[in-house]
Structure 1
Amino acid sequence: MSDIKKVVLAYSGGLDTSVILKWLQETYHCEVVTFTADLGQGEELEPARAKALAAGVKAENIFIDDLREEFCRDYVFPMMRANALYEGLYLLGTAIARPLISKRQIEIAHQVGANAVSHGATGKGNDQVRFELGYYALDPDIKVIAPWREWDLTSRSRLIAFAEEHGIEVTKDKRGEAPFSTDANMLHTSSEGKVLEDPWEETPDYVYSRTVNPEEAPDTPEYITVDFERGDAVAINGEGMSPATILETLNEYGRLHGIGRLDLVENRFVGMKSRGMYETPGGTIYLEAHRGIEQLTLDRGAGHLKDELMPRYAELIYNGMWFSPEREMLQAAIDHSQESVTGTVRLKLYKGSVQTVGRKADVSFNLYSQDVVTFEDDKGIYNQRDAEGFIRLNALRLRLLGQRKRGG
């Protein structure tokens, strides 16, 4: 790829991407544009600008974009409509952020006339796949530079040596072996590697950064309400909020009560198993609330079909297929199912757990009828004798099978 003239780098300002920035300049002799996404990771992002300037990047080629509302509105909330969980447990916090980062990188590349993009994902992980599938879906002709698959900086010590040789700042905690690596955004924080690599060993408490230890959470439960309209949360405790503010507020409730911790050995798309620790405080509460309101408002057939589709949908997101036609087809079906998912859920938060303890919906959305289900006199609304024929028809094939087994 000797014709690389300008490249847009997904840049955090940390050690790895700072080294990549210099390596791109030296290896490809090209102009580098840096892009730093604010996805609510809770870090000060302006130092990334200063580091990029110090590395010789022009001021007009430094992009730091606040994508929090777009992230929640167009990625997290649509995913939550599906109740998506990868392998039944993982709320896809890292995976769902990658298509948005890819999309913005391609937009910037078109804006500045770059013919290449670059990322800092390693050759062992899922993120290289997610980034690059996103790039190619949005610009089939874009050139992709993945330094971890090209360079010979194959260890932390060699990375640090390169940084020191080129005058790149190495913060004190990066000298030597880091205890684990992290990725964070508004939805979650994930930690992998080093102290977490042995799946028999319990995750040390110092790894957790977003939630208090459930054992040390308040001894008194807290109750909150979440309002939904057409499958999306719109208010907490009756106060209307934007999607990002909804998630931020639920994150704080989850942090206080130690909600959303997950220790998982998962199957990566590239073929290996990996052990990770995830904290998804607000997302865990959101998922419980969404399922709570669906219990009242979603038809049985639609709900059961949705549960069948969910693993496939979640796997598509995990594997980086957000922009694929099959994900868009599933999204259309899921969104259609949410047209009547409107109402209010009451939740109990207590020492690491979140439980739906109440739900209500306007009569125009509600499929639950207390008059029908009551154990008291239903005044003839439901004729219990009808159940006899229903049972006999459903039992017919089972009775025939039973007769055959005993000889006719």
Structure 2
Amino acid sequence: MNIEVSSSIHLMYVNEIQQEMYDSAQRRGTGIAKRSIEYLSKKITEGNAVVATDNGKWVGFCYIETWSHGQFVANSGLIVSPDFRHLGVATLIKDKVFALSRKKYPEAKIFGLTTGLAVMKINSDLGYKPVIYSELTQDEEFWNGCKSCVNYDILMKKSGRIACVQPCFSFPIMKKKVVPDIFSRIIDIIMSKKVVLAFSGGLDTSYCAKYLSETLGYEVYAVTVNTGGFTEEEEKELEKRALNLGVKKYRCINAQEDYYNSCVKYLIFGNVLKNNTYPLSVSAERTIQAQEIAKYAIETGADAIAHGSTGAGNDQVRFDLIFQVMCPDVEIITPIRDMALSREEEIEFLKSHGYESEFQKAQYSVNKGLWGTSVGGKETLTSRNSLPEEAFPSQVKEIQSSELEIEFNKGEVVAVNGEYFEHPVYAIQKIEHLASVYGIGRDIHVGDTIVGIKGRVGFEAAAASVIIKAHHLLEKHVLSKYQQMMKSQLSDWYGNWLHEALFLDPVMRNIESFLMDSQKTVSGKVFITLHPYRFVLNGIESAHDLMSDQFGSYGEANRAWTGDDVKGYTKILSNSLKIYHQINKADR
């Protein structure tokens, strides 16, 4: 991107600049003094403007005006193309035009009038200070030019032009002045636009925290949603980091029980394994995290929501879609994705803004949660290589086999080895503790991403793997074959749509109702043996077991029918097949 002092070569952009000035003023309902093509062209050819371009495309513009024989200089008409907003371009242009003003008019008082929050913040960062209108130029030409502003009548109400509290504010650089306290307080109120930032504490969201507050001028409300990935100590460390980054407020939402109640429960009911492999650990987490963040944004009255997703993965879609549905009027800001920032650029920005931290790039990216932990590394970027032992957070510590008993009540885990739990979340955590030391639940999932490419992700999900298989075994004993067939089909759709960010589609609630109803008889105990890297399902006990010997034993005894019953049944069952094959003999 080029940001340079204007010349005649930039006249090709003048029509576009003028139109965007007008359109922007109309959208915001504020007044930018109208400027003709001739006026703007003159500023450009005389070198009294700054123009930003990118590969031949107009990006931004600002010009300078002088009043009272050069005693006052205004940096006016700042405008940025909609395609390049929220990228810090306005700050760079203002910095450039300020330097141009100081170079051309070293003794002048530089000022500007604005009702825009972002410009106020930029001006403040450049050293401008608020003053009352009486300290501005009294040049009649200047005040006549203000008449096209929608706030002109208000501006002129008190003592002609002396009104210290009005919608338009000035930011001159002056050596001696007293800024009224009431004016400063009003500036603070006007500048307090809020953004809720999904905060993980990593490099990307740390960059976002600084960028949003110091470049875009937002009050940053950082929020972490704990879906099983953080200990109490880690939560405290996240809060400390967020506050050190300058956020106004930090909050950690413990959503583990809500996560289970609204999502994980149905993944168990449906025995959901994406591509018969992956328990949708991250897919499910992100959906719930996004919903909690959206609720928090509504609660705080936020003007925007931000997240640190890149443009390469599934999470950007999951976050954006949930936010658009739940907070349709709230702006979504994604600095990392929009600016395609490198790791080095993010670190340099943080250092230049006074924040130092050890952002060492880990060999493996790990995302831990209640329903499993994803693991990514150089191996998962290939189709050939597997993850080494050291890539997995839970190392094998047990080599002697052990017995595990899981008790279900209407499809939900209620007890582990005879110990009953207040909520299934704690039962899941117990199973994870017992099974993860065997290295159980490890695999690499290969699948289709939301963005249309194939992807691989490693994972370890000891509890999820054991629970789903144990639950499925119990269902084989207590559900009819058609219940199982229908459940299998609907559960596949449920998992696919959850993965594809469609959790809020009403059909998901319909499927959940079916799954819930199907669990009425899914109660009993499942007996399992744990071994290093594997487990064995030994059997079940249930009052609803349909494999009851009072009706017969497969291959051994029939107590509920006779041989003649079977002959008649078989004859009727074969009718449609006999008819088909006899009619179509000639085709064989």
Q: Give the Å deviation of 1:332.
A: 0.9
1:373 maps to 2:552:
yes
1:159 to 324, 340, 346: 346
Q: Provide Cα deviations, 1:67-123, integer angstroms capped at 9, x if missing partner.
A: 222222332122211111212211000011122211211221122211211111211
Which amino acid is the alignment partner of residue 325 of structure 1? P
Q: Give the Å deviation of 1:151.
A: 1.8
Corresponding residue number in structure 2 for 1:18: 206
CA contact (8 A) 2:227 2:289 kept: no
Q: Give the Å deviation of 1:393.
A: 2.6
CA RMSD in angstroms comes to 2.1
Distance across 1 between alignment mates of 2:206 and 2:480: 52
Unaligned stretches of 5+ residues in structure 2 = 1-84, 87-116, 119-192
Corresponding residue number in structure 2 for 1:73: 261
1:95 maps to 2:322:
no
1:407 maps to 2:586:
yes
1:40-119 to structure 2, matched below 5 A, reads 40-43=228-231, 44-58=234-248, 61-119=249-307
1:231 to 405, 411, 418: 411
Distance across 1 between alignment mates of 2:563 and 2:354: 81
Q: Give the Å deviation of 1:396.
A: 2.4
Corresponding residue number in structure 2 for 1:169: 356
CA contact (8 A) 2:213 2:247 kept: no
Q: Provide Cα deviations, 1:26-63, integer angstroms capped at 9, x if missing partner.
A: 342111100012222145121111122112223xx210
More deviation, 72-81/398-407: 398-407
Distance across 1 between alignment mates of 2:236 and 2:338: 29
1:298 to 474, 479, 483: 479
1:203 maps to 2:387:
yes
Distance across 1 between alignment mates of 2:359 and 2:290: 31
Return closer, same or farther for 1:387/1:185 CA change in 2, 3 Å cut-off: same
2:499 to 305, 308, 318: 318
Overall identity of the aligned pairs, in %: 28
Which amino acid is the alignment partner of residue 358 of structure 2? T
Query: How does the TM-score come out when normalised to structure 1?
Result: 0.91
Distance across 1 between alignment mates of 2:377 and 2:437: 26
Return closer, same or farther for 1:327/1:366 CA change in 2, 3 Å cut-off: same
CA contact (8 A) 2:474 2:524 kept: yes
Q: Give the Å deviation of 1:398.
A: 2.5
Q: Provide Cα deviations, 1:264-310, integer angstroms capped at 9, x if missing partner.
A: 22110110111110111110011011112112221211111101112
Q: Give the Å deviation of 1:313.
A: 0.8
Query: How does the TM-score come out when normalised to structure 2?
Result: 0.64
Which amino acid is the alignment partner of residue 90 of structure 1? Y
**Which 4+ stretches in 1 moved above 4 angstroms?**
1-4, 375-378
**Alignment partner of 2:586: what SS?**
coil
2:461 to 269, 280, 304: 280
**Alignment partner of 1:158: what SS?**
helix
Return closer, same or farther for 1:167/1:390 CA change in 2, 3 Å cut-off: farther
Which amino acid is the alignment partner of residue 182 of structure 1? V
Q: Provide Cα deviations, 1:189-210, integer angstroms capped at 9, x if missing partner.
A: 1122434312212212221113
CA contact (8 A) 1:251 1:282 kept: yes
Q: Give the Å deviation of 1:230.
A: 1.1
Distance across 1 between alignment mates of 2:378 and 2:348: 21
Distance across 1 between alignment mates of 2:194 and 2:300: 9
CA contact (8 A) 2:398 2:532 kept: yes
> If you compute each CA radius of gyration, which structure gives the higher value, 1 or 2?
2
Residues matched between the structures, number: 395
Distance across 2 between alignment mates of 1:407 and 1:35: 72
More deviation, 106-115/365-374: 365-374
1:222 to 402, 406, 410: 402
Unaligned stretches of 5+ residues in structure 1 = none
Distance across 1 between alignment mates of 2:432 and 2:532: 15
Return closer, same or farther for 1:222/1:385 CA change in 2, 3 Å cut-off: farther
Q: Give the Å deviation of 1:336.
A: 1.0
Which amino acid is the alignment partner of residue 131 of structure 1? F
CA contact (8 A) 1:10 1:120 kept: yes
CA contact (8 A) 1:182 1:189 kept: yes
Distance across 2 between alignment mates of 1:285 and 1:275: 22
Corresponding residue number in structure 2 for 1:392: 571
